[in-house]
Amino acid sequence: MKSQTVIGALAILSLTVAAFVWYAAGKTTPSPQPEPSAAHVVILLDGTDSYAPFLPNAIAEAKKIVMGLQPGTKITISTIGADAGTEFLELEHPVANHGPMKYIDKEKMDKQRICQELGTLVNQPIVHTTDILAKLNDDVLPRGQDVHILLYTDARQCDKDGCLEGQHYRKYPLRSIRSLQQSRVCFIGVAREGLSGSDWDKLNDQWKNYIKEHGGSLDVFTESEEATCRVYTK
């Protein structure tokens, strides 16, 4: 009887310790936070000749992102070229938030219209040089902590100071731009000319450091359009 009492006491003690450990773990382990949603998505597509073969696929993936945006999200669409003068097709346009109605779904119609305008980018004049900095420095480019800037580009900056183009990566000082004000930046469709692994890492690091120095964060740097599309449409 005495041994049974001891065993029972030990069992109760074990349960008490386990409960305390479980409670402490619950108090000290933070729950995973959801990915912050964008209040404004900026889609910039490379309109240069080196990227032309990949532009239709980039537009197709951008359309999927548009169709997956939450109602009320603002969207800006433009192209990257030799300067910042390319027309913005949609400037701070919020996706309709009326949702399905009896006879018409305004949200779906709005997204379809934006996708049609995205499709017109294949008819834009093709230029040679890719001046990404000119577009990021544009006066009308949205900026802020709720802004996600998606650049569909090979990431080959080229201007009067130098070029990040060709088969081999050659670093050169990039000129300054105005602050990105905590915008989240994604480079999509990078390394179309087949960079080596070490050159890829150098190019990634240069853009990551540059974006950080100018008040933003480089969230994505990838060759795949689909991977980024899944992130923004989940």
For residue 102, the model assigns a pLDDT of 59
Burial of 81 (0-12, 13-18, 19+ CB in 10 A): buried
- 213, two tokens: 């120095």
Q: Is 177 helix (H, G, I), strand (E, B) or coil?
A: coil
Alpha helices in the chain (DSSP H): 2-28, 55-68, 106-119, 132-136, 197-213, 225-233
CA 164 to chain centre: 21
Quote the pLDDT of residue 124: 76
In this structure, are residues 70 and 37 in contact, taking their beta carbons and an 8 Å threshold?
yes
Note the pLDDT of residue 98. Answer: 63
DSSP string, 104-139: -BHHHHHHHHHHHHHHGGGGSPPBS---HHHHHT-T
Residue 14 confidence (pLDDT): 45
- The model carries a pTM of 0.77
| Cα gap 68→232, rounded to integer Å | 7
How far is CA 82 from each of CA 73, 127, 196, 218, rounded to the nearest angstrom?
A: 29, 7, 26, 22
User: Within a 13 Å sphere around the CA of 102, how many CA atoms are in the beta-carbon half?
Assistant: 0
Give every residue of the chain whose pLDDT is below 50, as ranges.
2-36
- Rg of the Cα trace of the chain? 24
Predicted confidence at residue 64, as pLDDT, reads 92
Reading the block at residue 224, the tokens are 């795949």
